[in-house]
Amino acid sequence: MHIYTAPVVVPIAGDPIRDGAVGVDDGRIAYVGPAAEAPEADDTTAFAGVLTPGLVNAHTHLCYTGFADMHDNEKEFFEWIQEFPRRNPQTTDDEWRCAVQDGIDQSLAHGVTAVADVVTPQAAFGPLLESDLAGVAYWEACFIDEDAWEERRKSWREVVTDTRAVNGSDLAVGISPHTLYSLGTGVAKGLAELARTLDIRLHPHLAETTHEDMFVRRGSGPFAFMNRRIGLDLELASGGAGHSPAQQMAKVGWLGTDSHVAHGVHLDAEDRALLREHDTHVVLCARSNARLEAGEAPVAAHRKEGNPVAVGTDSRASSPDLDIAAEWPVLRKMALGQGDDGDGLNEWLVRAATEGGAAALGRTDIGAIKVGGRADLAVFEVDTDANPYAALVSEGAGNCKATVVKGRLIEH
Ligand SMILES: [Zn+2]
């Protein structure tokens, strides 16, 4: 057994432990508690900071790690999203694989040991499934109408089944139906049915922009224009669904305990209640939303009403980095600005990025330090005398000094 000690251990599975220790044996947690009571170890590593579970990035696209210039180029959402169909066909499989590997390395450097990763090119599966990350790699369906689906359904489905057949990793294969404005209604329902037939998870984008809301409700706005231009013929383009994107998601079968949704910026009280009814986690991606001027997610309302949430960075094409800890102060500021009283807010945010992310991915063995769980840890060089949740939220960004992934130590 290898023992890691730290002035403060934040297990999430229990209260913070001063002068704590975590024992790791064969990639699993074998002990968590006071250092003074730890079992005898073959080796001990003494960390100086706050020790937490490995963080969960519950929404990202690691294949776009090479598109970081899109974060900096200030294009607005509508122009920004059309860059992908232009760039993707020009990117080689080697470039995709390098980008994903870079994204994996950057994630681990920030203490992220589990991801909900949206996979667009098939080549991106390779490095993901060879990595030590936990979570789900979601094969994406995007820009597909009924006619295109007829042709593509079989080969699209084969990618899922073939990848699952060879997958020996700790990342499951899932399905990411991109959005309601990029898929036909029948296609959307078909994808949900397929996920349930195969017993795999779903992860769509929900209510990221007001334009999405406009398209789903009325079939109008920039996305209607974009789809006409690229020849995508969607049912919603004729008059819309007459209700919110969240309600439409419930109709096509994209909500449930086997799904979690990215963004959820434009959700009213009824939408939030619907998500609670379906026990569906929303991934807050505050910095990506700010970059794309998508709006502010109702963070304070989610907390007050008890919606299950997780934290994501989104891709490097809209996020300055893949540092989940850097989302915390931004979300805190947003919540306070929206009227949150701040009581317990830091702990809520740290839990969202750990056990919240784990639950969003359907995992019970990650996101908390508990005996039998995967040995995923992160060490943050923050004030160890302060309240540990407050210290992590205010100083954690850029301060991860070590990561343990599946029992393997990486020092930064
Ligand atoms: Zn996304």
pLDDT greater at residue 78 or residue 15: 15
pLDDT of residue 293: 93
Q: What is the span of the domain harbouring residue 27?
A: 2-52+370-411
Rounded to the nearest whole angstrom, what is the distance from the C-alpha of residue 46 to the centroid of ligand 1?
A: 38
Q: Which of 12-26, 44-58, 68-82, 317-331 is least confident?
A: 68-82
pLDDT of residue 74: 81
**Helical packing angle, 327-337 and 388-395, nearest 10°:** 100
Q: What residues have their beta carbon closer than 5 A to ion ligand 1?
A: 314
Q: What is the CATH number of the domain that holds 45?
A: 2.30.40.10
Q: Give every CB contact of residue 191 below 8 A, 6+ residues apart in sequence.
A: 141, 175, 177, 183, 202
- Whether 76 shows a pLDDT value over 90: the answer reads no
Structural contact between residues 60 and 118, judged by C-beta atoms closer than 8 angstroms: yes
Rounded to the nearest whole angstrom, what is the distance from the C-alpha of residue 188 to the centroid of ligand 1?
A: 17
Judge whether 365 lies within some domain: no
Rounded to the nearest whole angstrom, what is the distance from the C-alpha of residue 82 to the centroid of ligand 1?
A: 14
pLDDT of residue 95: 98
Report the pLDDT averaged over residues 347-362.
98
pLDDT of residue 54: 98
pLDDT of residue 213: 97
Rounded to the nearest whole angstrom, what is the distance from the C-alpha of residue 314 to the centroid of ligand 1?
A: 5
pTM for the predicted model, two decimal places: 0.98
Judge whether 269 lies within some domain: yes
Share above pLDDT 90 across residues of the chain, in percent, rounded to a whole number: 97
Judge whether 91 lies within some domain: yes
Closest CA relative to residue 275, chosen from 295, 255, 289: 255
State whether 348 and 376 are in the same domain.
Answer: no
Confidence category of residue 73, pLDDT binned at 50, 70, 90: confident
Kindly report the backbone phi and psi dihedral angles of residue 82, in degrees, each rounded to the nearest multiple of 5, phi listed first.
Answer: -75, -10
Q: Give every CB contact of residue 154 below 8 A, 6+ residues apart in sequence.
A: none
Q: Which two tokens stand for residue 226?
A: 């974009």
What is the Cα–Cα distance from 149 to 354, expressed in whole angstroms?
37
pLDDT in tens, 310-351: 999 999 999 999 999 999 999 999 999 999 999 999 999 999
State whether 228 and 374 are in the same domain.
Answer: no
Q: Give every CB contact of residue 291 below 8 A, 6+ residues apart in sequence.
A: 71, 318, 319, 320
pLDDT of residue 82: 87
State whether 138 and 25 are in the same domain.
Answer: no
pLDDT of residue 138: 98
Confidence category of residue 77, pLDDT binned at 50, 70, 90: confident
State whether 391 and 346 are in the same domain.
Answer: no
Helical segments of 25-145, H only:
69-72, 77-81, 83-87, 93-109, 125-130
pLDDT of residue 79: 87
The total number of structural domains in the chain stands at: 2
State whether 193 and 86 are in the same domain.
Answer: yes
Rounded to the nearest whole angstrom, what is the distance from the C-alpha of residue 366 to the centroid of ligand 1?
A: 22
Rounded to the nearest whole angstrom, what is the distance from the C-alpha of residue 190 to the centroid of ligand 1?
A: 21
Judge whether 380 lies within some domain: yes
pLDDT of residue 294: 93
State whether 120 and 98 are in the same domain.
Answer: yes
Q: Which two tokens stand for residue 14?
A: 């229990």
Out of 327, 342, 360, a domain closes at: 360
State whether 276 and 337 are in the same domain.
Answer: yes
pLDDT of residue 116: 98
Out of 341, 360, 379, a domain closes at: 360
State whether 133 and 145 are in the same domain.
Answer: yes
3-state secondary structure of 300: helix
Rounded to the nearest whole angstrom, what is the distance from the C-alpha of residue 357 to the centroid of ligand 1?
A: 15
When the pLDDT of each residue in the chain is averaged and rounded to a whole number, the result is: 97
pLDDT in tens, 240-255: 999 999 999 999 999 9
Place of tokens 């769980």: 373
Q: Which of 94-98, 152-156, 176-180 is least confident?
A: 152-156
Rounded to the nearest whole angstrom, what is the distance from the C-alpha of residue 35 to the centroid of ligand 1?
A: 41
Report the pLDDT averaged over residues 40-57.
96
Confidence category of residue 383, pLDDT binned at 50, 70, 90: very high
pLDDT of residue 68: 94
Rounded to the nearest whole angstrom, what is the distance from the C-alpha of residue 404 to the centroid of ligand 1?
A: 26
Rounded to the nearest whole angstrom, what is the distance from the C-alpha of residue 32 to the centroid of ligand 1?
A: 35
pLDDT of residue 11: 98
pLDDT of residue 89: 95
Rounded to the nearest whole angstrom, what is the distance from the C-alpha of residue 331 to the centroid of ligand 1?
A: 18
Q: What is the CATH number of the domain that holds 147?
A: 3.20.20.140
pLDDT of residue 78: 85
Report the pLDDT averaged over residues 359-386.
98
Count of beta carbons in the 10 Å neighbourhood of residue 371:
13
State whether 6 and 61 are in the same domain.
Answer: no
pLDDT in tens, 101-138: 999 999 999 999 999 999 999 999 999 999 999 999 99
State whether 313 and 348 are in the same domain.
Answer: yes
State whether 89 and 231 are in the same domain.
Answer: yes
Confidence category of residue 159, pLDDT binned at 50, 70, 90: very high
State whether 48 and 71 are in the same domain.
Answer: no
pLDDT of residue 150: 92
